[in-house]
Amino acid sequence: MKRIDKLTEEFRTKYEQFIIGCDSAEDIFRWNKDKNGEMDVYFENEILCVIVRLIVADGEIGEKEVEYLNKNFGFRYTAEDIREMYEGSREELNNGFYGRIKKDVSDLNEIGEKFASAFKELLGIITGIVLESDGYATDSELSELSALKSIIEG
């Protein structure tokens, strides 16, 4: 089995566990649904934003990258769909994006340290999948990786 397939399998398992945890946090009122919406939907969106940002970091949207995105989430996006998604949320993805991800980690820490660790682990796995999916990493992708790594290790 290729490394990327192992990462994909690991991501799926850990993502399912994270989503189950989100439901539990909502059940015990550790997440403000009125303010933030459904916790699982919120973090699915955050994870998707990280993936899209990594995919477009090198200025290209590779078919392999989109293939692994679809494989992980059960989506059916095309490269053009990702391009449109990025264009539609460019401002959100470029202005204060990493500050928002840091805040997400902080908010998860308040719910429980395991939540924050699980989210950071998911980010690390995503980074590996996206970077391996096209077989090489550009300077732009490495810069994105470095920014995420500081959050993951922070």
pLDDT band at 125 (very low <50, low <70, confident <90, very high): very high
Task: Give the count of domains, the chain.
Answer: 1
pLDDT at 145: 84
User: How high does pLDDT run on average in the chain?
Assistant: 87
pLDDT at 1: 66
HSE at residue 113, side-chain half, CA atoms within 13 A, is 1
Higher-scoring residue by pLDDT: 68, 148: 148
Most distant CA pair in the chain, distance: 43
Write out pLDDT tens, residues 62-115.
Answer: 888 888 788 877 789 999 998 898 888 877 777 788 899 999 999 999 999 999
Higher-scoring residue by pLDDT: 3, 91: 3
Quote the domain boundaries for residue 44. Answer: 3-153
In 25-133, which ranges are E strands?
Answer: none
Torsion angle of the four alpha carbons 127, 102, 23, 117, in this order, in degrees rounded to the nearest 10 = 60
pLDDT band at 118 (very low <50, low <70, confident <90, very high): very high
Q: How many residues does the chain have?
A: 154
Taking alpha carbons only, the member of 89, 151, 139, 93 closest to residue 131 is 139
